[in-house]
């Protein structure tokens, strides 16, 4: 990949911070603007998240790919789009960014900087929803790349996440880094620490299911194509096969 790794890690950190700030901040704003109307609050939170995600992928995608999500990075590595070493390096940057974004969101709305969430979410239905949400997100991203439509990924990802807020019972976290970050805000978008491990496990299962399904649906995904997730930002991992992934 052409961009130096430290630069890409900075982009992933800052982009992940923006992601957490927009998810948590819009949740706090929604509660204040529409108190007592949970449906409207969720709609406002989903709309802001969908639009903001579109924007931050455009901002940081040309540098790092705009992953902001360890599952995206590891699925990308499984197809040769980046090295496993790089995917592993992305993960702490993404998690640290989401924690930072949560703290910033709390500060912007005059909350205590760190408030551990007490919102329990981990029922069986929620965990199934996270598997489905993560599987769907990976299919959106990698099917667009495989069919030469990667330029539409920012809009498609934003649209999918906005829709998945409503068609999944978990409101579609679909991201281990944001699951960790949202523990640090006891607000509308928060998640209790006791629920987060189940969400992360379900997201990993969703990512593994996506790898298996993508290999069946698109058996000739090449490392060069995978390197364009979510936006073109470099070259395939050195030494990756140039044929079928």
Number of H helices, E strands in the chain: 9, 0
Report the run of H or E that residue 187 belongs to, with start and end: none
Alpha helix stretches (DSSP H) within 70-123: 70-78, 84-108
Q: Residue 117 above 70 pLDDT?
A: yes
Q: Residue 71 above 80 pLDDT?
A: yes
Average pLDDT over residues 87-102: 98
Average pLDDT over residues 215-219: 91
CB neighbour list of residue 71: distance below 8 Å, 6 or more residues apart = 134, 137, 138, 174, 175, 176, 203, 204, 206, 207
Q: Percentage of the chain with pLDDT > 70? A: 93
Asked if 129 and 179 touch (Cβ cutoff 8 Å), the reply is no
Residue spans of the domains in the chain: they are 5-226
Angle at 205 between CA 49 and CA 47, to 5 degrees: 10
Asked if 187 and 161 touch (Cβ cutoff 8 Å), the reply is no
The pLDDT, as a whole number, for residue 232 is 59
The pLDDT, as a whole number, for residue 244 is 31
- Each residue of 102-112: pLDDT tens digit? 999 999 999 99
Higher pLDDT, 245 or 157: 157
- Each residue of 146-176: pLDDT tens digit? 888 888 999 999 999 999 999 999 999 999 9
The pLDDT, as a whole number, for residue 231 is 67
Band of residue 31 on the pLDDT scale cut at 50, 70, 90: very high
- Each residue of 46-62: pLDDT tens digit? 999 999 999 999 999 99
d(CA 233, CA 194): 37
CATH architecture, range 5-226: Up-down Bundle (1.20)
CB neighbour list of residue 80: distance below 8 Å, 6 or more residues apart = 222, 223, 226, 227, 236, 237, 240, 241, 245
Angle at 93 between CA 88 and CA 98, to 5 degrees: 125
Query: Average pLDDT, whole number, for the chain?
Result: 92
């Amino acid at each position: 990949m052409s961009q130096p790794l430290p630069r890409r890690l900075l982009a992933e950190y800052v982009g992940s911070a923006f992601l957490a700030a927009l998810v948590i901040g819009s949740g706090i704003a929604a509660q204040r603007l529409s108190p007592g109307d949970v449906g409207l609050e969720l709609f406002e939170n989903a709309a802001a998240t969908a639009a903001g995600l579109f924007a931050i992928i455009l901002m940081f995608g040309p540098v790092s790919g705009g992953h902001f999500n360890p599952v995206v990075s590891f699925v990308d590595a499984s197809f040769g789009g980046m090295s496993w070493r790089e995917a592993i390096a992305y993960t702490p940057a993404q998690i640290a960014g989401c924690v930072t974004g949560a703290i910033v969101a709390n500060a912007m709305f005059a909350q205590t900087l760190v408030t551990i969430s007490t919102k329990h979410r981990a029922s069986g239905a929620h965990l199934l929803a996270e598997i489905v949400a993560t599987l769907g997100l990976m299919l959106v991203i990698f099917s667009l790349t495989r069919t030469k439509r990667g330029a539409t990924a920012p809009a498609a990802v934003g649209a999918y996440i906005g829709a998945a807020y409503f068609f999944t019972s978990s409101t579609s976290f679909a991201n281990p880094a944001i699951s960790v970050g949202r523990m640090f805000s006891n607000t509308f978008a928060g998640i209790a620490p006791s629920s987060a491990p189940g969400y992360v496990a379900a997201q990993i299962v969703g990512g593994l299911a996506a790898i298996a399904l993508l290999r069946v649906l698109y058996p000739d995904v090449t490392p060069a194509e995978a390197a364009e997730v979510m936006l073109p930002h470099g070259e395939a991992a050195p030494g990756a096969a140039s044929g079928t992934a």
